[in-house]
Structure 1
Amino acid sequence: MKKAFVYTELQFSIPFDNVPWEEINPNLLKVKGLVRKTWLSGVSSNSVGGFYEFDSIENAQDFAWNVFPQEARNFGVSFMTKIFDGAITETASKGMNSPYYND
């Protein structure tokens, strides 16, 4: 299995209490290859984003290019998305006790 990570951020400012995460989470659980997501809320900026782990680069790319852009459209905002290769950083991450490599 080859790990991949995706970072996303919606380009708006909203207190996290107003983010409809309870509606979004069930849909995310259906995304192909998604292992887990960590929600992010910007300190002082109230930006909303996430850190996702996928089981492959291909599934991460499908999410970043096809799924997440629709979420941004639903909010009517622009977004930023980055895809990271988790396999190349495995040894360095294990050395830092990363929970993403303790499976």
Structure 2
Amino acid sequence: MPVNKVFVYAEYQISIPFGEIDWVPINVEMKKFPGLKSKTWLSGVNTNSVGGFYEFDSIENAQSYIDGLLIPFAKQVNGNLTVKLFDGDATKQASIGMSSPFYPAESQ
């Protein structure tokens, strides 16, 4: 059965204060990838690591994004990348019960 909601956690092990990142053009590039529903930027407390929490509509689109944007950027900045994929369909009911913004009440 296909997964229709995929969450991706990604983090670059580099030390760049978030205020020094020109995120506007990065957001433009990210929006070009099919299946990307949202991204929440992350900035590590006391580490200045940079990352994000993403929602995709399929594992295939999430993997395409990882391969096409995240991995090349890691090479460009000479940083280490950690990526994890999560099945958002499997956790739907538990997340609705916790008022998750990724599962509106009407999707019950």
Q: TM-score, normalised by structure 2?
A: 0.88
Deviations 1:27-61 (A, max 9, x none): 00101100000000011111100000001121112
For residue 83 of structure 2, what is the aligned residue in structure 1? 81
Match of 1:49 among 32, 48, 51: 51
Once the two structures are TM-superposed, the CA of residue 67 in structure 1 deviates from its matched residue by 2.7
RMSD: 1.4
Alignment-mate amino acid for residue 26 of structure 2: I
Provide structure 2 residue ranges, at least 5 long, that are not aligned to the other structure. none
Provide structure 1 residue ranges, at least 5 long, that are not aligned to the other structure. none
Structure with larger Rg:
2
For residue 11 of structure 2, what is the aligned residue in structure 1? 9
Q: How does 1:1-103 map to 2 (within 5 A)?
A: 2-102=4-104
1:67 and 1:25 map into 2 onto residues whose CA distance is: 11
Give the count of matched residue pairs: 103
Q: Percent sequence identity over matched residues?
A: 50
SS of the equivalent of 2:46 reads: coil
2:69 and 2:90 map into 1 onto residues whose CA distance is: 25
